[in-house]
Amino acid sequence: MKVESAREPSSPALEGALDASGKRFAIIVSRFNAFITERLLQSACDGLLRSGANKKDIAIVRVPGSFEVPSAARTLAETKKYDAIICLGCLLRGDTAHYDVIVNEVTRGIGQSAQETGVPHAFGVLTCDTLEQAIDRAGLKMGNKGFEAALAAVEMASLKSEIRGQGSGASGKQVPRSARNHKAKKKPSPRKRK
């Protein structure tokens, strides 16, 4: 894998670091197409450990198929125990429209869970036309998408921490939106009757 450095932006940018130390992760993995998903899982764990995660801070949850991944992701994210959720599965196109329906629902469900819970979710669900493509994406020719999903989860968990650390004031307490807007109209105080 070749990593190219990005050009320096004209203004400073926040970025997440590839440092998983002190963070907790949940990995949801589909049992369907286990020949592929187990490779994704092993590489995701490897990516987390290489990034500094502690083995005890990685929870692995197995679900029957990729369709069940979003539900499990949502349930885990709502516990607020995890800094990021990694979603792993493998969907192979068949001769019916079933594939398209499942791909759309899995993708929508994972994205919706991330948006509504505020916990970063990494998408490591393969959507392939053939078994050969899935094998290639699970470690043979095209890297391993489980490893890539783990690195994305680490970076997003770190970025979320960075963003939270950028709050106004040194106390780190969240300032209500109305207090941040200096142009906010102040409501007149109620007058007492005499």
Name the residues annotated as catalytic: 98
**What kind and span of H or E run contains 72?**
helix 69-78
Contact status, residue 51 vs residue 154, Cβ threshold 8 Å: yes
* Virtual torsion, Cα 134, 137, 142, 148, nearest 10 deg: 170
Instruction: Give the separation between CA 100 and CA 94, rounded to whole angstroms.
Output: 9
Contact status, residue 155 vs residue 16, Cβ threshold 8 Å: yes
- In the structure encoding, which two tokens stand for residue 59, read together? 């929870």
Give me the residue label for tokens 């393969």.
126
DSSP 107: H
